Amino acid sequence: MALVQNFPFITIVFSLTCGVLCAVLPGRGAKRLCLGWLALTTAMSGAVLRFTLTTDGSFLYRMGKWGAPFGNELRVGVLEALMATAFSGVMLLSLLGGMRHIFADCEPGKVNLYFTMCALLMSSLFALIYTNDLFTAYVFVEINTIASCALVMLRSSDRTLVATTRYLIMSLLGSGLFLLGIVTLYGITGELLLESIAEKVQALFAAGQYSLPLTVIIGFFSVGLAVKSALFPFHSWLPDAHGSATPSSSAILSGLVLKGYIIVLIKIFYRVFGLEIIVSEQVSRFLLLFGVLAMLVGSVNALRERDLKRLLAYSSVAQVGYIYVGIGLHSELGMVAACVQILAHALTKPMLFICAGGFMDVSGGHKDLAAITGAGLRDPLGGAAFSVGALSMMGIPFFAGFVTKLELARGALEAGPVTLGITFAALAVSTLLNALYYIPIVFNLYTRPRDGAWAGVRQRYHWEYAAALAAFIALNLGFGMGSDWVVGAIRRGLALFGM
Amino acid sequence: MPGLVQHLFTNYYETAAVVLFGIGFTTLLMHRNLLKKIIGFNFMDSAIYLYLASKGYIAGRLAPIVSGENADPARYINPIPTGLVLTGIVVSVSVTAFLLALTCRLYDRFHTLDIDEITRLARKEQV
Amino acid sequence: MGFLLLLPILFPLAAALALCLRPLRAQRRRRAFTVAALALELGLTALCAALAGGTLPLLPLAEGLCVTFGIDGLGRIFSLLVAFMWLLSGVFTQEYMADREHLGRYHVFLFLTEGALMCLCLAANYLTLYLGFELMTLCSLPLALHTQTGPARRGGYKYLFYSVFGACLGLLGFYTVHTYGRGTAFAPGGVLDPAKVAGHEGFVAAAAFLAVVGFGAKAGLFPLHAWLPAAHPEAPAGASALLSGVITKGGVLCVIRVVYYQFGAAFLRGTWVQYAWLALALVTVLLGSMLAYQEKLFKKRLAYSTVSQAAYILFGLALLQPTAFAGAILHVVVHSAIKDGLFFTAGAVIEKTGQTDVRALRGVGRAMPFTMGCYTVLSLGLIGIPPLGGFASKWLLAEGSLASGIPVFGWLGPAVLLVSALLTAGYLFPITVSAFLPGADLDGTSAPPLEPGPWITLPLAVLTALTVLTGLFPGPLADAAAAIAAALC
């Protein structure tokens, strides 16, 4: 067994350790440890990615060398490694970009706990990506929930307090359903490892037994994870939570946390039930419908918002809808599109939130659209990054968003005429709505305020902010222009992802 | 239909678990009082533990604690569900602790436990 | 000689960048720079048109998707048109906007839009076309929003809304061609693969229709025309001229490329798509003319006129017939020249007299004889009076329509064109009449001379001369267009 194959396990477990260590270190020390560790995990995940690409296969990592069906397993393939690398890179950049705000927003003496939570979050994200066991998935889903709620609470204000509470309550509803699904499935099949469950499930479907319970279980999984990833109509908690948190937290929550749950859902669909059964159960129809509604409702609500961060949060609701549309397309190409959107959104939305934080700096701490007039002139790099993000959201070629739309269209063209029509219409209207609220903001950024407010203020570029934004811009453009490689890797990964 | 009712009675643990889960879920979702929501959440999780424990139970066998004599699996109930229950209890306790801490803070700040009232009051604050 | 293709695209971008980095505050310097840059751009475009050939794949985005540039007969005509009109508008703007603010910003976006339009004209596949279309919208939006007044903002965002929606519809066409075609590079006669299309003709036809409507939105095709009268009048006159005269032609070029070079005229001929398109075009012709007739604001009247005239072009293209195609291309050039000239006139008149209502322009012919004289000639051209430019193009359109053999539309088209010509006379001529012959009650003897300076009158003269020339000698252009049409229909 190559050393590289231990890396997934190391990233999970040592992230937990890092979190514990951060809790006992002072603020600056915790920051250095966390950032350093994140850089290391990105490198390690990259090494795993290279390994899986060159061996062109996935490998099983048995914990403690116990074999199936008793032991716990990690399964690592191209898709998992790609997601892990991307997630840990994005978390690193998000923390870097919003570092000043983290220290400014937090109560003194408690900053190290924030980094603890980030490390725990990273550990749970890795675990959700790599795990091959259903109950482990549940445990780390709960760790994910707690850590992300704690992330919102960095800034102790009324709004974050209420937002955290509502987020936690909604999340627990989702977890409850998810757990019920797991437990019922365990009751029927007696297995917890995904492949073992899959064998039993296939046999049951072939024999026609337990068909209603299995359908209901699929429903539990879908609804539970949809609630946690803020699919319409379960998105009401998202704008408050993402809109009131510190920029780094909003970035991580929007870009990564939501996606972790969707990856678990895709994993269950692929490895436990298999795509044919999901198709025959028509569950995806509802996901498609709600995805389309999310695209529209999210954008319409964003249009009405005057607060920049809440607007970006509603935009996240719409973008999550894209992912579910991809899943709901019932096909291999649709899943590819969903994974592409996971990556594309993970690269774009954190950048937008970090820019919002930067604009707040040069606008006296205000974040409503009227106050950030001219912020692009006072903070050129932030303005440029926001423009890149806005064009990506609109789906202009050369940027990441265009690749998503292309893949979704490819997936839709394979589906039946009704699905095709609905998807195309939703894509067109959603792009239009995106343009309607992003382009005016971009113009607003570069318009001098009429009353000369904040005239002499200039952004002081700390290396962290500048480096994070520069890296985000480069990644976005790289994804947009070099998408061949990524999409090919995703296809390979999905082929290996299944049974 | 009578077969279904028969099954529900035979597996009364599981039936009770699902009913309790429904009660807990609805309480968590619908009640406005935060403490009642927390209680509902605990109901929900306890229901799951009941379900799991009942899945592991095999009538006439012992608790899976091997002591001394040869470990014959046929003497003990299925240990995995109890392990899952233990894990679940830990999760439930952590989440409950978090929720209670949040509730304390909310009460200190707003002097009410009604989540809708709190949301309304918080919206008025300029962030 | 592939890299020659990049010169007309990159040069305006470089000029914009230069202006960004070193804004020229001194008026003389800026004037010199602008005129020199635009003239150089015209030279580069001519060079490219004369010498460049082949295609230049520039940036691969994904498998089978590459930003590619190339030039053919159609591209030559359009790129030269763009560069020429841009030069004239640039010259006009120097005097027209001499004392306005934010000139630096205006010029930067002027150059950027020119670069985007060149990208559009020199595109060799659907992806590059779409990219150019989107960039054109985004770069020209600040021009429309320039004055930043309330109506300008509303007009500008309406422009954005309709254009982006149109682009989305065009993008659907792209996905369809990509899936059902042999690639998305432009080939005369289309690239659809009959084997793949079989069984999906209805869908492919629908996608083609949506693409036509979407890209036609840029040219004001009903029902996506409402942005034109909102956005064009609010922009500064130089920008209005470009929006009406050139950018609408960008939309027309996209329609041509999509219909003739991607889906293929043979695929669409005789289908419901063609009939619907013809119907929409004729409706737009009438609608635009009628709305122009009863509109009292000068620039808005001209905007409605653009809606109507652009629909002439789209009508000609919809006939899928060589003569009509030649007429459409000719009208592209002629209308561009005339409409630009009309907007220059309107700008000069509004600037000098401060009046925006056409009823208040009585007697202005005495004060601005040259300007109004050009206006008269241009109006005659637009109406279609021989021997001016508009006549040749409309004659070819009518001839093509009658020869196309399409039921109903074959004769309905020329009839509508005739009615529209009468309406055009109705909305353009009264201005001339009231300008030169205000009636006995207006004392015109003491009108101060308000004639604008050479920076305005020179482009006007050039455009008027061009109108006359294309009327007298339509041959070269019509032949070139017919040569292109032969390969397409």
Residue B67 lies in a domain: no
CATH number of the domain encompassing residue B56: 1.10.287.3510
Handedness of CA B71, B76, B77, B81 (dihedral sign): negative
pLDDT band at C468 (very low <50, low <70, confident <90, very high): confident
- Give the span between the Cα atoms of B21 and A192, in whole angstroms: 21
Phi, psi angle pair for C352, to nearest 5°: -80, -40
Token couple for C375: 């206006």
Token couple for C240: 């209005």
- Match 């703007």 to its residue by tokens: C93
Cis ω for the linkage preceding A233 (within 30 of 0) = yes
Residue B86 lies in a domain: yes
Which residues in chain C have their CB less than 8 angstroms from residue A428's CB?
Answer: 165, 168-169, 171-172
Q: Is-contact A243 A250, C-beta < 8 A?
A: yes
C20 DSSP β-pair partners: none
Check CB contact under 8 Å for A142 and B127.
no
Cα-only R_g, chain B = 20
Token couple for A456: 């002499």
Long-range pairs, C23-29, Cβ under 8 A, ≥24: C23/C104, C24/C104, C25/C104, C27/C98
Phi, psi angle pair for A241, to nearest 5°: -65, -50
- pLDDT at position B107 is 93
Which residues in chain A have their CB less than 8 angstroms from residue C134's CB?
Answer: 396-397
**C-alpha to C-alpha distances, A291 to A95, A288, A319, A327, C429, nearest whole angstrom:** 30, 5, 9, 9, 56
- ipTM of predicted complex: 0.92
Task: Show the domain range for B12.
Answer: 2-60+75-123
Q: Is-contact A84 A126, C-beta < 8 A?
A: yes
- pLDDT at position A308 is 93
Cα-only R_g, chain C = 21
The runs of H, that is alpha helices, within C22-72 are 27-51
C67 DSSP β-pair partners: C59
- pLDDT at position C392 is 85
Check CB contact under 8 Å for B95 and A168.
yes
A131 DSSP β-pair partners: A74
Cis ω for the linkage preceding C194 (within 30 of 0) = no
Nearest to A439 among C148, C160, C176 (CB): C160
B76 DSSP β-pair partners: B62
Tell me which of A413-417, B7-11, C91-95, C139-143 is least confident. A413-417
Q: Which residue of A has its CA nearest to B119?
A: A162
Q: Is-contact C474 C330, C-beta < 8 A?
A: yes
Q: Summarize the confidence of residues C280-306 as an average pLDDT.
A: 90
| Residue C14, C-beta contacts closer than 8 angstroms, at least 6 positions apart | none
DSSP assignment of A90-101 equals HHHHHHHHTHHH
Nearest to C61 among A405, A417, A483 (CB): A483
- Give the span between the Cα atoms of C205 and C209, in whole angstroms: 6
**C-alpha to C-alpha distances, A359 to A41, A71, A101, nearest whole angstrom:** 30, 50, 12
Check CB contact under 8 Å for A161 and B115.
no
Using CB atoms within 10 Å of the CB of residue C63, give its burial: 0 to 12 exposed, 13 to 18 middle, 19+ buried.
Answer: exposed
Check CB contact under 8 Å for A431 and C127.
no
Nearest to A397 among C127, C138, C164 (CB): C127
- Give the span between the Cα atoms of C365 and C376, in whole angstroms: 10
Nearest to A180 among B48, B80, B91 (CB): B48
* Closest listed residue to residue A411, CA positions, set A292, A346, A318, A328: A328
Question: Mapping DSSP to helix (H, G, I), strand (E, B) and coil, where does residue C414 land?
Answer: helix
Segments making up each domain of chain C, as ranges: 1-268, 269-489
Long-range pairs, C149-157, Cβ under 8 A, ≥24: C149/C234, C151/C230, C151/C234, C152/C234, C152/C235, C154/C230, C155/C227, C155/C230, C155/C231, C155/C232, C155/C233, C155/C234, C155/C235, C156/C231, C156/C234, C157/A436, C157/A440
Q: Is-contact C59 C208, C-beta < 8 A?
A: no
* Residue C68: its H or E element: strand C65-70
Check CB contact under 8 Å for B80 and A180.
no
* Mean per-residue pLDDT over chain C, rounded: 85
Each of the 499 residues of chain A gets a pLDDT tens digit; together they read 778 888 999 999 999 999 999 999 888 889 999 999 999 999 999 999 999 888 877 888 887 777 666 678 888 889 999 999 999 999 999 999 999 898 888 888 888 899 999 999 999 999 999 998 999 999 999 999 999 999 998 888 888 889 999 999 999 999 999 999 999 999 899 888 888 888 888 888 888 888 888 889 999 999 999 999 999 888 989 998 998 899 999 999 999 999 999 999 999 988 888 877 777 777 778 888 999 999 999 999 999 988 999 999 999 999 999 999 998 887 888 889 999 999 999 999 999 999 999 998 888 888 888 888 888 888 889 999 999 999 999 888 889 999 999 889 888 888 777 888 888 888 888 888 998 899 889 988 888 777 777 777 787 888 889 999 999 999 999 998 888 888 888 988 888 876 5
How many residues are present in chain C?
Answer: 489
- pLDDT at position C313 is 92
Token couple for A74: 């990690």
Which residues in chain A have their CB less than 8 angstroms from residue C60's CB?
Answer: 481, 484
Residue with the larger pLDDT of the pair A70 and B49: B49
Question: Mapping DSSP to helix (H, G, I), strand (E, B) and coil, where does residue C125 land?
Answer: strand
Work out the angle between the directed axes of helices B34-56 and B12-30 (0-180°, nearest 10). Answer: 160
Check CB contact under 8 Å for A443 and C61.
no
Q: Is-contact B25 A173, C-beta < 8 A?
A: yes
With 90 as the cut, is the pLDDT of residue C2 above it? Answer: no
Cα distance from A166 to chain C (closest Cα, Å)? 36
Token couple for A304: 């009405």
Work out the angle between the directed axes of helices A134-152 and B79-110 (0-180°, nearest 10). Answer: 10
C66 DSSP β-pair partners: C60
The runs of H, that is alpha helices, within C258-355 are 265-268, 272-293, 298-318, 322-353
SS3 content of chain C, % helix, strand, coil (to 5): 75, 5, 20
| Residue A160, C-beta contacts closer than 8 angstroms, at least 6 positions apart | A152, A153, A154, A244, A245
With 80 as the cut, is the pLDDT of residue B125 above it? Answer: no
- Match 């998503």 to its residue by tokens: A404
Residue B92 lies in a domain: yes
How many residues are present in chain B?
Answer: 127
Query: What does the buried/exposed string (b/e) look like for C194-209 if buried means 16 or more CB atoms within 10 Å of the residue's CB?
Result: eeebeebeebbbbbbb
Query: What does the buried/exposed string (b/e) look like for C170-191 if buried means 16 or more CB atoms within 10 Å of the residue's CB?
Result: bbbbbbbbbbbbeebbbbbbbb
Q: Which amino acid, C100?
A: R
- Give the span between the Cα atoms of A110 and A103, in whole angstroms: 9
pLDDT tens for residues B66-87? 777 667 778 888 888 988 999 9
Tell me which of B91-100, C51-60, C84-93 is least confident. C51-60
- pLDDT at position C1 is 60
Chains that touch B (3 or more CB pairs under 8 A): A
pLDDT tens for residues C377-388? 888 888 888 878
Query: What does the buried/exposed string (b/e) look like for B70-89 if buried means 16 or more CB atoms within 10 Å of the residue's CB?
Result: eeeeeebbeebbbebbeebe
Q: Summarize the confidence of residues C194-218 as an average pLDDT.
A: 87
Nearest to C62 among A406, A420, A443 (CB): A406
Token couple for B27: 């309480």
Residue B65 lies in a domain: no
* Closest listed residue to residue C283, CA positions, set C252, C326, C315: C315
Best residue in A391, A402, A445, A486 to probe C by mutation, most C CBs within 10 Å? A402
pLDDT band at C267 (very low <50, low <70, confident <90, very high): confident
Question: Mapping DSSP to helix (H, G, I), strand (E, B) and coil, where does residue C357 land?
Answer: strand
Segments making up each domain of chain A, as ranges: 3-497
- pLDDT at position C446 is 57
Cis ω for the linkage preceding C449 (within 30 of 0) = no
Distance between alpha carbon A317 and the CA centroid of its chain, in Å? 11
Token couple for A111: 């900053």
- Give the span between the Cα atoms of A493 and A262, in whole angstroms: 16
pLDDT band at C196 (very low <50, low <70, confident <90, very high): confident
Strand-pair category, A59-62 with A73-76:
antiparallel
With 90 as the cut, is the pLDDT of residue C66 above it? Answer: no
Residue A296: count of CB within 10 angstroms of its CB: 18
- Give the span between the Cα atoms of A41 and A119, in whole angstroms: 11
Q: Which regions of A407-467 does DSSP assign to beta strands (E)? A: none
Check CB contact under 8 Å for A183 and B51.
yes
Work out the angle between the directed axes of helices A111-130 and A134-152 (0-180°, nearest 10). Answer: 150
Nearest to B122 among A158, A168, A187 (CB): A158
Check CB contact under 8 Å for C65 and A481.
no
pLDDT band at C447 (very low <50, low <70, confident <90, very high): low
With 80 as the cut, is the pLDDT of residue C62 above it? Answer: no
Cα distance from C218 to chain A (closest Cα, Å)? 15
